[in-house]
C-alpha cells in the first residue's frame, strides 16, 4: 500500500495519461500527480499505449514544448 511506502519526488514532472487507460484509474493518477506536484495532461480517447507513430510524435512534441527553455533536450532541436 502506498501509505506504507510514501513517494519522495523532487524533480519537475509532466504526466501524460490516456483517459481510456484500463490499468490506472483517473482517481489514482490525479492523486499521484497532486502528491508529487506534477503537471497532468489527459489525452482524450488515449489508452495506456499510444498506438500509431503520428500520435506518438505529436505527443512528444507537445510535451517538449512544456519543458523550460534552455533544457538540454529542447536545445537539441
What is the predicted pLDDT for the residue at 68? 65
Q: Please provide the DSSP assignment of the chain as one string.
A: -GGGS-----S--EEEEETT-SSS-HHHHHHHHHHTT-EEEEETT--SS--SHHHHHHHHHHHHHHSPTT-HHHHT-
The grid cell for 55 is 500520435
Q: Are 15 and 33 in contact (CB under 8 A)?
A: yes
Q: What is the pLDDT along the chain (77 residues), one digit of tens a residue?
A: 456 777 788 888 888 888 888 889 999 999 999 989 998 888 877 776 666 666 677 777 777 777 666 655 544 44
pTM summary value: 0.60
Amino acid at each position: 500500500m502506498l501509505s506504507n511506502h510514501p513517494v519522495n519526488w523532487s524533480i519537475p514532472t509532466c504526466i501524460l495519461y490516456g483517459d481510456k487507460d484500463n490499468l490506472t484509474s483517473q482517481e489514482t493518477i490525479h492523486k499521484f500527480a497532486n502528491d508529487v506536484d506534477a503537471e497532468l495532461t489527459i489525452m482524450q480517447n488515449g489508452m495506456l499505449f499510444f498506438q500509431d507513430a503520428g500520435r506518438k510524435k505529436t505527443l512528444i512534441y507537445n510535451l517538449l514544448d512544456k519543458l523550460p527553455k534552455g533544457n538540454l533536450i529542447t536545445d537539441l532541436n
